[in-house]
Amino acid sequence: MRVLLVGGGKVGSYLADELSRDGHVVTVIEGSTNRAHELSEDSRILVFEGDGTDVELLRSADVDRADWVLGVSGLDEVNLVSCQLALTLGAERALARLNNPRNRPTFDALGIPVVAVTDLMGQVITSEVEVADLSRVALISGGRLSVSEIEIPAGFPECTLAELELPQPAVLAAVLRGNEASVPAATTRLRPGDRVTAVTSLENEGALRDVLSGNREPKDNV
């Protein structure tokens, strides 16, 4: 299967690695020069530096041969336009990452299917699942990865996500604080009571639980 990813950030690079491991032909369009260079070091992934909404760049990336185009940047407008253009230019299917749930009506009106981390959070909240410990919500990527949810306990150390010793591979996809859901950044500080949705390998679930339960000290950046 041929997959074109628009956006090579944390989510995009993670997907690119997983998809290429599964034997798919993966192409990434990334606007950041530094990020594009990092991604290009993986010989399995073809990387184009530039704007994912540029028609000529999409054509150069063989968008018309893509079985899937995934708009996974951190900007909803880029994900929407890139998916629209991809379908117009001949891609078989497209799927967009939705960062702000308020933008869903626009995607729906234009017929672009979305995946929103807030949807996943809502499923966890409404399900009667005990969250005193890490709870597995779903298995993905052929059962090799788990989507899990955990509540940050009282006494959790004051630190940013960048300072956490997360097991690899692991991605923190969403943080629910009260009624507000967000996609965390490296500078995000977790607080007791936050509910975190994460993706990791099955063998790393225990290590992830330890980190998010405060059982491991954060990195010393001094």
Pairing of strands 145-151, 135-140: antiparallel
Query: How many residues in total does the chain contain?
Result: 222
**Model confidence band, residue 149 (pLDDT cutoffs 50, 70, 90):** confident
Q: Name the more confident of 133 and 21.
A: 21
Mean pLDDT across the stretch 22-45?
Answer: 94
In three-state secondary structure terms, 88 is helix
Give the residue extent of every domain in the chain.
Answer: 2-112, 121-212
Mean pLDDT across the stretch 37-42?
Answer: 93
Residue 220 reports pLDDT greater than 60: no
2-112 classified as CATH 3.40.50.720: yes
Half-sphere exposure of residue 133: CA atoms within 13 angstroms, side-chain side: 4
Most trustworthy range by pLDDT among 29-33, 192-196, 211-215: 29-33
Residue 128 reports pLDDT greater than 60: no
Report if pTM > 0.85.
Answer: no
Q: At what angle do helices 10-21 and 33-40 cross, to 10 degrees?
A: 20
Give residue 132's pLDDT. Answer: 38
Residue 4 reports pLDDT greater than 90: yes
Q: What percent of the chain has pLDDT over 90?
A: 40
The pLDDT tens digits of the residues spanning 50-79 come to 999 999 999 999 999 999 999 999 999 999
Range with the poorest average pLDDT among 3-12, 28-37, 132-141, 144-153? 132-141
The pLDDT tens digits of the residues spanning 77-106 come to 999 999 999 999 999 999 999 888 889 899
CB 74 within 8 A of CB 99: yes
Tell me if domain 2-112 and domain 121-212 are identical in fold.
no
Tokens representing residue 110 in the block: 């234009």
121-212, CATH topology level: Alpha-Beta Plaits (3.30.70)
Q: CA-based angle 94:100:103, to the nearest 5? A: 70
Give residue 11's pLDDT. Answer: 86
The pLDDT tens digits of the residues spanning 14-26 come to 889 888 888 899 9
